Each structure stands twice: as structure tokens, then as C-alpha cells.
A and B are shown apart, each in its own frame.
Chain A
Amino acid sequence: MNDFDELIGADVTGAERERLRGVHDMLVQAGPPAELPDSLHNAPRPSEVGALRKQSTPRKLALLVAAIIVLGITFSIGFSTGQKHAAPPSVAQDIALNGTAAAPRAQATLAVLPEVAGNSQMNLSVRGLPQVSPPEYYDVWLVRKGEPWGMCGEFVVSRPTRSLTLTLNAPYSLETGDTWIVTRHKFGESGVGTTVLQPRGLRPSVVPDI
């Protein structure tokens, strides 16, 4: 590294010299910027950041339609049975998800945090999933009474990675017995896709079309 006096010479004096010396000292303390790995040369795509609120309009519409259908079904069932919902879990829960035959190496842990104002934040730590890029996505589904009930977010694995940790949201009132699965789904195709992660003991037969 060059000495400050060698860099600046004798031309600059007084307050300006001290000002530049301050910057010089900061550069020395900071050290060189890190060399960026290839994976960080480009900003992540919005689909990779997976925020539901920022999805494209067609996808938003599709989700809105799906949500209306789900709400309609739920209302019908609730109205016909008059069944009261159980109280939502009051404590956070950790759910272990195991890879299915479609992703035998995959493993995940879903930490469901206590509900706040109708939203339950979920932290999904997942590893071993095959790479998937748009228009294919991994979808996280809330499963209620054995059926995919509401989508809680989507993500991609567009580059090899050891593990991913994602923050998702369940904007639903949770019920006892609720659980989650992760499916692999191609945008535009019907159904919820192929289940790649599910809780131990969840019978595949109770999850239709996956």
C-alpha cells in the first residue's frame, strides 16, 4: 500500500490535506471490497424473492380467484356443518418435512411463529431440492383436512445451493391439525403440482392430485 504522502504529494496542504488523510485512513481500515461470487452478480428476480404482494397481475388474479374459490368452499362447508373451528395454536411450532419420491434428498423445517393480527409468519429452511426456475416454482401449501387449502408462498431454486431459508406468511386462522406441504408446480398448469416435501406420516392418498 502506498504511503499517504506519496499518494498526495506536497501540493495539498492544510484542512484539505487532513480531509483527504481522513479518507485515506478509512480506506486502509476498510480493506478491499469482497470479490462477488457469480451468484450475486445479478439482482434476484422478483419470483425468487417470492413476495406474494409483488407478484405479477395475472398471477395475482389467479391467486385471487383461487382464494375466492377456497373461501367459497370453506364457507359452504362451515355453513352446512355448523362446525366450530378449533382455537388456533397459541405457540410456535416446528414441523419437519421429508422429501417424497420426487425429491428423496430434500429435507425442510417449517417454523410457524405465533399469529399476529391474523398472519402467521413461517420460516422455511430447506435443503436438497432440485433446481427449479420459472416458469416452474415450488409452492408452499397449507394442508387442512388432508387437502391443499391455501398457498403460503412460492420460491425457486435457480442455482445450486446447500440450503435456503425463506420467510413466508400464512394469512389464515390456523386450526388444530393444519400442516404444510411443498409442491413443484409449473405455472399455467392445473392442480397444485407434485408434492416434494411433506410431514412424516401424512398419507399421500389424502393429498389429491399430487
Chain B
Amino acid sequence: MRKTESEMEVALDMPRMRVVPPPVDEAPEDGPSDAALLALVANADREAFELLYHRYVRSVFGLALRRLRDRAHAEEVTQEVFTAVWRSAESYRPERGSAGGWLYTVARNAILDRLRRNSRADTTYEMPELASPEGGPDEQVEQAQTAWRVHRALEELNPNERQVIELAYWSGLSQSEVANYLGQPLGTVKTRTRSALARLAEVLEGEVQ
């Protein structure tokens, strides 16, 4: 069960380290672009919606969690965001910008709407910007946008690449420990890390359309 209302809190509830799965041999998937998926979703294509969902759900949930600092609210807003995507995909115009940017706007609007509603419902609710130890609002916006882009880009990596990045950056393990954990030579781990970073650079430079 979720928290009851009386248990609601404004406590810091930041993203937690994911459990890293064991290595999987799987080729990177070069599926349809996000823009193409949105066009299909506009025609009620269920498969396209699911693919788009899995590409973006972590980014949306992560953004909601950063801003709302409450897992239950972040879950609900994430569902609202994808409801809005299903309903209004036809309003996306590729010539006006990237599909990722459109989705970010949908997510941001849903989060802001929730923040407004929360502040109306509870006048003691403190807006996260005021309580955050992470710097001013501008800094937070920049961090949120960076996280959005990076987490979306991670979804473009194959599982092995993604795993080595997650281990290198967020597991607390050294490169030697990562090599030991994966049962791979240190040189292989370094090479794989480098190629994963290069792939991420490609994705981020190209910005998923």
C-alpha cells in the first residue's frame, strides 16, 4: 500500500541506485525515432506507445521525483504524463522541435500543475525550490534538463554498455572492482566504458528526434 495522506512528507527522496542486472548479450536496438513513434501514437498505435513509454518512463519519473520529492506523487504524475501523451500525441509538430523536447514540456507542465495543486491544497507545503540544498532554481532547472537528456540517452545503449556505465558512475566500485564483478579483464572494461561514453556522446550530440 502507498503512504496514507497523514504520512505524506516533503522529505528528500532522491533517485536510488538501480540494481544492476547481470550481463546480457543483446544488440543495440535502432528502432523508430521518437518522432515517428509519436506519429504512430497519434493514430492510437499501442505498440508505439509502449516503446515510447519504456524509452521515457525513467526520465519522466526521475524528473517528477526531483521536483516533487514524493514517490507517490511522482508515480501519479508519471501516469498523468503518459496519459497526456496518449491523448495529445497528434498535437506534436516535428518542425517545431524534437520529440524529446515535446515530451519534456508535457512532463514539466504536469509536474508544475501538480505543484500548484499541492500548494493550493496545503498552504504549508513548501515548494521544493525553496527547500532544496542543491542551489538556486536556475541551477536546478539545468540539472533537471541534463538528467532528462542523460537518462533518455542511456536507454539508447545496449544492456552491456548501460551496465558498465552504471557500475562505473553510480555503484561506488573502482574500475578494478567492476572488472572483478563482471569477470572481465580490466582492459576490456575500460574499452567498453570508453565505447559506451562515445555512444552516449553520439546520442546526446544528435539529440534523439
Contacts and interface: CB of A to CB of B under 8 A. Distances in A.
What are the nearest 9 A-B pairs in CB distance? A34-B15, A43-B53, A30-B150, A32-B170, A30-B147, A34-B62, A49-B83, A54-B44, A43-B50
B150 A9 contact: no
Contacts of B150: 26-27, 29-30
Interface in B30-51: 44, 46, 49-50
Interface stretch (A15-23, A79-87, A98-106, A189-197): A15-23
Interface string A44-64: 101011110110000000000
A12 interface: yes
B68 to A, nearest CB: 12
Interface of A: 1-2, 6-9, 12, 16, 19-20, 22-24, 26-37, 39-40, 43-44, 46, 48-51, 53-54, 125, 160-167
Interface residues of B, number: 60
Contacts of A54: 44, 86-87
A63 B208 CA distance: 39
Contacts of A22: 201
Interface stretch (B21-29, B74-82, B98-106, B125-133): B74-82
B82 A31 contact: no
B190 interface: yes
Contacts of A9: 190, 194
